[in-house]
Amino acid sequence: MINSTDIQEILAGYDTSNITIATLGGHSALDVCLGAKQLGFKTVVVAQRGRHEVYTKHYKTNGNIGCVDDVIVVDNFKDVTNPDVQEQLRDRNSLFVHSRYFWVYCDYNEVEQNFKVPIIGNRVLVRKEERDEEKNQYYLLEKAGINIPKQFANYKDIDRLCFVKAAEAERSYERDFFLVNSPEEYEKEMRQRFGDAFEEQSPVVEEFVLGPMVNLNFFYSSVNDRLEFMGTDIRRQTNIDGILRLTAPEQMKVLEKVQPKYIENGHQAVTLKESLLTKVFEAGERFVAAVKEDYPEGMIGAFALQGAVTAGPPSEEIYIFDVSMRIPGSPGTMFTPYSGYLHGQSMSYGKRIAMEVKAALENDKLDAILT
């Protein structure tokens, strides 16, 4: 396991006056690069061949335009953990911004134990997003006393509308979502996806929360010991978003031949009414405290609590059904006002991360933001 001593040894070989912000070419790479450039840092993207021209051509730094200074092209995203690629990153004095993209394509153990590039954030937390991990996101949410939907360990106990989160049959790193109202509906849907072997699967089955969905995007500053609310967004998903645009009679016709899919394609910026902000901050603070109790390095930087708001009575409540323990995937967070209320300007995660790196360098606290 990479530890603080390893990170200090790596940093000892760095020119900290010439830091580069690095990331993998997908998810939030352009957001990260723009923010880094705005704060005066160099940028490098590790891009997979075939997808690399977004970074080598369309957004490459050229004078006063573009935000990607350098690109390391690899045959496959997972090659970012190869020793030669790590060496190229260290030669550039790189601090690495991890994302869901990074962890999907790279082996958890390989990153935790052998990726010898300092990561901005806590490298042991992202695997806790997985449902089969000990002390995972659900454990932390419950420990924090945050409202979560009722979960069903045995699908035969389903007695209400439930949301099922299963791994896709073709792409195990993607989740397949569907709604069921009974054990019989569950078996039918699972058989369509996995055949008679469906009972070998162990999806999350949870009560469907009725209410507007919202992603609560936070930033915990280890330099300032401060929780910040970055903004709010909702997911745009294929093909359910298209189905929901139809009238009810049209939906019924489509659903005779088309299976709803909840595959994320993007995000939309949304806002919350101000009276809910107390509950938003309470949830964020409790989650940060719960993480710290079990994982001493704690929550570092970007994370998100994804959920919905119920109607009450007596009052609206926030229920959380998913956690992102790294930079969320929405660059649209900057188009909500919440970071602006604190910093005087609404900002992207990329810029906020770069601000934290700059503050850590100025205050000799790099060890507080890196693992």
pTM confidence score: 0.93
CB 271 within 8 A of CB 336: yes
Domain(s) labelled CATH 3.40.50.20 in the chain stretch across 4-120
The residues near 240 (Cβ < 8 Å, ≥ 6 apart) are 260, 261, 262
Q: Please name the residue that has the structure tokens 């079990």.
A: 294
Alpha-carbon torsion angle 106, 112, 118, 119, nearest 10: 60
Looking at the chain, the domain(s) classified CATH 3.30.470.20 span 137-145+211-347
Q: What is the pLDDT along the chain (371 residues), one digit of tens a residue?
A: 899 999 999 999 999 999 999 999 999 999 999 999 999 999 999 999 999 999 999 999 999 999 999 999 999 999 999 999 999 999 999 999 999 889 889 999 999 999 999 999 999 999 999 888 999 999 999 999 999 999 999 999 999 999 998 877 665 555 678 999 999 999 999 998 888 878 888 899 999 999 999 999 999 999 999 999 999 999 899 999 999 999 999 999 999 999 888 888 889 999 999 999 999 999 999 999 999 999 999 999 999 999 999 998 889 999 999 999 999 988 889 999 999 999 999 999 999 999 999 999 999 999 999 99
Question: What topology is assigned to 4-120 in CATH?
Answer: Rossmann fold (3.40.50)
The pLDDT value given to residue 260 = 86
Count the neighbouring beta carbons within 10 Å of the beta carbon of residue 342.
14
The pLDDT assigned to 202 comes to 85
pLDDT of residue 53: 98
The pLDDT, as a whole number, for residue 262 is 85
137-145+211-347 under CATH 3.30.470.20, yes or no = yes
Scored b (16 or more CB within 10 A) or e, 5-42 reads: eebeebbeebeeeebbbbbbbbbbbbbbbbbbbebebb
What is the predicted pLDDT for the residue at 264? Answer: 84
pLDDT the model gives residue 194: 87
